[in-house]
Structure 1
């Protein structure tokens, strides 16, 4: 089998109605597959107001709003009309991107039809309950995730550190890497725009600490704001630039009244915003890769990040930035203060990060997953279906 022989059915809980790193990666994958001559069909909830146009053919599946987070929807079924569409499409592999109800139904259907099924891991769902006062649920979420991923032929993590965590959590025998790429035409140091910075009221010599991403509590907004408080108390000169939007924006604006909130930025505007920062603070522990970290590195910024999955695979502590124990506000503050006070240190770390970012090209990244598809299909057809795990 060759790449043009692939017929990939992708199941996503959120393909294009919210803009985030996972969705954009899936759309890039679909575009790459189509350019290589493969057939792709995507099954996902849809909305009348999508964040961006979908890549490839998109089939709507039934969904309900996620409790407390109406911007997300949960797929709840694969109804007969969708099954008929799948039979007409004749996929030879399922790719499931969300461990929700529809994801479970898709895995069950693949098993019934004797088709190989793989899953990509995009976030650390088991960590989410702690941000909403429900930390006691984490073991239950882990158990549910383990049951889901063990039913797949293979699973794919976006970073080496996340892949190792999945192995440690005994999620699957076959854990591969589908990392993320970077669009260097958008993210590069040349996009820095001092005029744009000045329009936000930022002085040319004022060190800018940036945050990019969706404004949701699980991105570590509490740690970010506590760190900025410490920095202000130490009288370290700085300015905070927040790029992004989300349900926690009101909370974040009240928490950081002196910060510049630039709102959602996309494409070249996002590249300009990132390059116009002086450093990135990413305290999140929920990332499996950290697209924003790679984007900042490509723009020539040092990154101060939590020592967690994703960031550990991108940031070299003391070289391209700093890795800090999750939640260690004083240590985050000290790392930022050092970069705020030392322009040469910022330049050296940013230059090193920009060189590292050159390793990540989207075509190379997606071809690696395509190669894995072909391997999994071959193994499945040869009877190499994964054994049930003997470990509970």
Structure 2
């Protein structure tokens, strides 16, 4: 990896000291959010709470449309960088036993968005103090963004429509990673996460008695054949080096064991790391639908209801984050990510508009932080909050220092 000019020792030490000093506040904010989770598109109280915290450190909160999501600006430079944290929770009943466990039945922060919000706040607080100390580079301005509805992929478009990327040159974010030890990060340029399309398919036709399937269109058999063929054909109809994954997550049909129903519904996802892979999967699904209509005589209606594009990490920005993490944590604790994740990330919508980069932050401590994302026992080692805040803040400083030696476009209009 290329070597670049390192951040001055005084700024590095100041960032470290400020992050440590903020640790208790970051834990307080994260625990408040963890106790009071809100589902996607319902983050009104979370937005209000974070707005109050931003105002409390002297920043001016700007709520997004519908008062779901908020951002705040600092610095006066022409190169404006977004630091984005997501804020929505998941419909999962918590099994966390800590005193800060979710107080909302059936809802919890099982993907670390409470931590992302706290660390984005922490980075903004660090950079605001640097600005007050006269140590924030004059070339830089920062927009701390707290985004709703990441889990449904509605949040990033909502914030973009609200104007959050106006005048922005680039965007950065991080995501907690329970597979990585505390004090480490994972970095990657290029494709970072797969794109995802949610689908809903309805099989409809003649119903009838289970004893006489020949008088029906047997939509249950058609749906079963569809699943088997999609699982077999899609991965064998496209280059295996450009991965595509189809998953069926829900099947609904029928109400009695001796009745062949008139409809069956299937819902699931198509994930691909390229638009070519996505298109190939959809074309294969269309061919399977056509053949099953002939064989079973039923109608098959396909709807793609939600799209998230692949997330591409900008090479230059990824390097800035890598260098910053290496200075803070030591080069040996910054690990390359060899392959993209097949999980989706709606930060990809930001990356379609401006250069963007995301890193993985280790949260696995000796006693907590081992549980996987989207599970009822998910939790983090809260020492990661100060680390993540410092990495984000130092990445902004690294951008400024690199701009002084390799100038790039200072603003971006969207």
TM-score, normalising length from structure 2? 0.24
Q: Which has the greater radius of gyration? A: 2
TM-score, normalising length from structure 1? 0.25
Higher relative contact order (CA 8 A, sep 6+): 2
The structure whose residues are more often helix, as a share, is 1
